[in-house]
């Protein structure tokens, strides 16, 4: 079975699978053989090798050419400066063509043969004439990619409500759908303003933390549920999934704290009366 790396092309490109290369580790910048040319990227993770058992699949996986050198870093830095000017030109041309699009970012491929422009828009945009114009101006292959608001936040970065740098910048590889159901399961306020990130969408952490909450909640009663305990019937007032602890209001008696074991059974010596 072949080991592979998952490489994100440039800063904003797609994740692509490449063969393992000696001397290359996670978070290293590398030069790779990409579609229609040579490009650079950063090693994000060990790829899923289970899907590469077929010989034809293995032969289609490309090689990492080398780890980025000091000279490569100079070329990448120069391309970033050129991309800034290209972005300004593209925004100006888009305005001339009266296109409803907000230009967000631009990237040169490592070999300089391609420029990728990223933009946001509320709807579909017919940018064919714009691409033709830009190809004449830059004498290079032009790609236009429409992105969403979460992608835009990933490009520019920032600090989330938690005080940490955005998850999409630090470690998330892909954006997953996030729902209010996930916030409800974590007992968070169901006001979108309180559980949304700087992109205006529900926070990504709700997705990857959801499974943990589901696992920890297994066997625990739900808030508002009425249950028969040894000491009588009681209504669940609150649930602490981390401590597997609930507060119960008994029909005849005080509020009590009860701890549940991993099998979902209340521990007999866990009662703690609050008067």
Q: How far apart are CA 200 and CA 25, in angstroms?
A: 34
Q: What is the dihedral sign for C-alpha 122, 128, 129, 130?
A: positive
Of 198, 192, 109, which Cα lies nearest the Cα of 154?
Answer: 198
Of 121, 144, 123, which Cα lies nearest the Cα of 132?
Answer: 144
For residue 266, the number of C-alpha atoms closer than 13 Å in the C-beta half-sphere is 20
- What is the H or E stretch that residue 49 is in? none
Encode the chain (275 residues) as per-residue pLDDT tens digits.
Answer: 567 778 888 877 777 888 877 788 888 899 988 876 788 988 887 655 554 445 444 557 888 888 999 999 999 999 999 999 999 999 999 999 999 999 999 999 999 999 999 999 988 999 999 999 999 999 999 999 998 888 888 777 788 888 888 888 777 767 888 888 898 888 888 887 788 888 888 888 888 888 888 888 888 888 888 988 888 888 999 888 888 899 999 887 788 899 988 877 888 655 554 44
Give pLDDT, residue 141.
94
Q: How far apart are CA 236 and CA 249, in angstroms?
A: 7
Max distance between CA atoms of the chain, in angstroms, equals: 83
Q: How far is CA 268 from CA 19, 225, 260, in A?
A: 56, 20, 9
pTM of the predicted model as reported, rounded to 2 decimal places: 0.67
Q: What is the dihedral sign for C-alpha 251, 252, 254, 260?
A: negative
Take residue 34 and report the two structure tokens written for it.
Answer: 């990409």
Residues 18/61, Cβ–Cβ less than 8 Å? yes
């Amino acid at each position: 079975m072949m080991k592979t790396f998952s490489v994100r092309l440039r800063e904003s490109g797609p994740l692509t699978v490449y063969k393992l290369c000696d001397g290359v580790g996670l978070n290293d910048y590398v030069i790779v053989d990409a579609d229609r040319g040579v490009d650079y990227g950063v090693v994000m993770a060990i790829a899923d090798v289970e899907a590469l058992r077929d010989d034809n699949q293995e032969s289609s996986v490309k090689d990492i050419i080398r780890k980025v050198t000091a000279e490569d870093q100079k070329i990448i830095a120069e391309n970033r400066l050129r991309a800034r000017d290209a972005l300004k030109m593209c925004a100006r041309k888009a305005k001339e063509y009266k296109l409803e699009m907000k230009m967000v970012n631009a990237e040169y491929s490592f070999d300089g043969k391609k420029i990728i422009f990223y933009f946001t828009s509320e709807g579909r945009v017919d940018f064919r004439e714009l691409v033709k114009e830009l190809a004449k101006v830059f004498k290079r292959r032009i790609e236009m990619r429409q992105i969403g608001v979460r992608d835009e936040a990933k490009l520019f970065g920032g600090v989330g409500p938690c005080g940490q740098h955005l998850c999409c910048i630090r470690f998330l590889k892909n954006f997953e759908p996030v729902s209010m159901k996930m916030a409800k399961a974590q007992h968070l306020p169901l006001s979108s303003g309180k559980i949304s990130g700087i992109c205006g969408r529900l926070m990504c952490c709700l997705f990857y933390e959801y499974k943990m909450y589901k696992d920890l909640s297994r066997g625990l009663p739900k808030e508002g549920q009425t249950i028969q305990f040894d000491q009588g019937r009681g209504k669940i007032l609150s649930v602490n999934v981390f401590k597997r602890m609930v507060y119960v209001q008994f029909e005849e008696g005080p509020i009590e704290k009860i701890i549940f074991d991993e099998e979902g059974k209340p521990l007999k010596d866990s009662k703690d009366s609050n008067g």
